[in-house]
Amino acid sequence: MDKYILVNDVGTTGIRAVAMDQKNKIASRAYEEITQIHPKPGWSEQDPAEIWDKTVDVTRKVVDKVGAENVAALGIVTQRSTNILWNKKTGKPVYNAITWQDGRTADICDKAANKGNIKFIHGLGRVVTGLSKVITPLKKSKTGKLLIQASHLTFSPAFCPPHIKWVLDNVKEAKDVLAKGDLLFGTVDTWIVWNYTNGKVHATDFSNISSTGMFDPFNMDWSKTLMKPFEVPDELVLPEIRESSGDYGKTDIFGEPIPITAVIADQQSALFGEACFLSGDVKCTNGTGTFVDMNTGDTPTASTHQLTPLVAWKLRGKTTYMLEGLIPNTGSAVQWLRDDLGVIKKSSETETMAEKAKDSKGIYFVPAFEGLGAPYWDARARGTIVGITRTAKKEQIVRAVLESIGYNCKDTVESMKKDTGLPIGSIKADGGASENDFILQFISDMVDVEVERPENLETTAIGAAYLAGLAVEYWKSENDIRKYRKVDKTFKPKMKEDKRETLYNGWKRAVERSLDWAR
């Protein structure tokens, strides 16, 4: 029997395990949802013990079907910025995992931003360090001198340093464990690897750590500058940073020892899984949130239009970078329609309802449940519906929710064009919400480019599988990977430019009304 690559895809809303063969075919899969914990409005937590237990549960179901002896390697792909502090000696977390959607630290971020007189190039409403390493100046003055646009240091509540500070300020056990030198920090990938290896490996990869707000992508190392405003203590034990494809130890939980050969962040994994290997390649993942990512090649790009410069992956000693626009609530907005409003019974109903509405009748929905992401980065923005009249129908509300995904994508793509100067010829879409034809057609219409949907939408898992397989020569090179990517459907823009401009201008007005609402 051919061996398989096993993948753990530990997402924001659920955990998936898959076994994949060399031709990109999934032999077995299992899935369980993760409990979402919201102690207060705007707070978002998960139980680390549940994350680990369910990871083992779904993986065991898959391994029992394909056989541990038939698994060549394990790749781990996880949600980003969600982070955990735990006791090295007991293995127990001192507090729940604080997720990337959490907004409790907005005030902490504001106070940190006002410390000192340091200025930095803006990146995503967060920050990009390493000004001296920005190769291309932003503009020239009339005298011919090179100028670099700078802004005061700003931070996002999605970052890990403010989470760390909040836990240390509010959880006595955390302070006690820290004082003994036993407090470990890690993102979800680090937590999973540490448990799989019985505490032998405390490590992460460059893609995950570049998403935490603790890492300088220009210097490729931890950033004391970014951690200092949050008083992240030197006593906190940080994980070793390794390449995305390589040795992360072995696990014997399932009988036969299985080598762990890839650790990658979810969006970087999707970029790899979509075979976006060239500078200028763009993918759009529509899941819990929407993530628009561009491969920017072997040089980090400083963003002056509120995007995030990140490490995409490090492979065979070579680092690939990317720019990202994060939109926190898309699939979760559809869940809101289903679970909280009861407007739909199944997510799949939204496509038919949106088409039935013909248009949204001037209604706009801004999905700022826990704030707005790129390119606005306002943690105090809140969800907004504008343009409602007495004749509004539920179909028009549903359509407005789906249209918000396309508007947000256009926001990000326009910023990418300005930051990089690169043309965008097409977008590769993936993620569960990309099954919806209406969403992808509206993205194509708003951005005015072709949108491709692959046959297999589980590209986060596929990317981790590729990276794990490359480490054990299951695949030899990226060329082996390209030939297995199959396109299911291509969406081409149909909307006239004047209509596109009118609709988009309305969206910008709606966004203005959502900003700073929760101050």
pLDDT in tens, 314-325: 999 999 999 999
pLDDT surpassing 60 at residue 129: no
Taking the C-alpha atoms of residue 511 and residue 20, their distance in angstroms, rounded to an integer, is 42
- Kindly provide the residue ranges of all beta strands, DSSP E only, lying in 474-518, ordered along the sequence: 487-491
- What are the backbone dihedrals phi and psi of residue 135, each rounded to the nearest 5 degrees, phi first? -75, -45
Please give the average per-residue pLDDT across 259-263, as a whole number: 98
**Which percentage of the chain shows pLDDT scores above 90?**
74
Confidence (pLDDT) at 332: 86
Taking the C-alpha atoms of residue 212 and residue 43, their distance in angstroms, rounded to an integer, is 18
**Which percentage of the chain shows pLDDT scores above 70?**
92
pLDDT in tens, 222-240: 999 899 999 999 999 999 9
Contact 95, 183 (CB under 8 A): no
Q: Which of 273, 195, 254, 198 is nearest to 70 (CA)?
A: 254
Length of the chain: 519
Q: Which of 271, 333, 284, 307 is nearest to 442 (CA)?
A: 284
Contact 293, 279 (CB under 8 A): no
pLDDT surpassing 80 at residue 130: no
Taking the C-alpha atoms of residue 63 and residue 254, their distance in angstroms, rounded to an integer, is 7
Taking the C-alpha atoms of residue 274 and residue 267, their distance in angstroms, rounded to an integer, is 10
Which range (124-133, 261-270, 301-310) has the least confidence? 124-133
Tokens coding 61: 């179901």
Taking the C-alpha atoms of residue 24 and residue 17, their distance in angstroms, rounded to an integer, is 15
Q: How confident is the model at residue 346 (pLDDT cuts 50, 70, 90)?
A: very high
pLDDT surpassing 70 at residue 517: yes
> Residue 432: exposed, middle, or buried by beta-carbon count in 10 A (0-12, 13-18, 19+)?
middle
Confidence (pLDDT) at 154: 63
DSSP-based three-state secondary structure for 417: helix
Predicted structure pTM score: 0.86
Confidence (pLDDT) at 499: 97
pLDDT in tens, 360-390: 999 999 999 988 989 998 988 999 999 999 9
User: Cβ neighbours of residue 50 under 8 Å, at least 6 residues apart?
Assistant: 34, 35
Taking the C-alpha atoms of residue 341 and residue 344, their distance in angstroms, rounded to an integer, is 8
Q: How confident is the model at residue 121 (pLDDT cuts 50, 70, 90)?
A: very low
Q: How confident is the model at residue 184 (pLDDT cuts 50, 70, 90)?
A: very high
Q: How confident is the model at residue 426 (pLDDT cuts 50, 70, 90)?
A: very high
Taking the C-alpha atoms of residue 373 and residue 515, their distance in angstroms, rounded to an integer, is 11
Q: How confident is the model at residue 118 (pLDDT cuts 50, 70, 90)?
A: very low
Which range (123-127, 208-212, 384-388, 515-519) has the least confidence? 123-127
pLDDT in tens, 479-497: 888 888 889 999 999 999 9
Taking the C-alpha atoms of residue 391 and residue 290, their distance in angstroms, rounded to an integer, is 31
Q: Which of 485, 472, 6 is nearest to 245 (CA)?
A: 472
Please give the domain boundaries of the chain with CATH numbers for all domains: 4-105+156-272 (3.30.420.40), 303-314+318-460+468-514 (3.30.420.40)
Contact 34, 9 (CB under 8 A): no
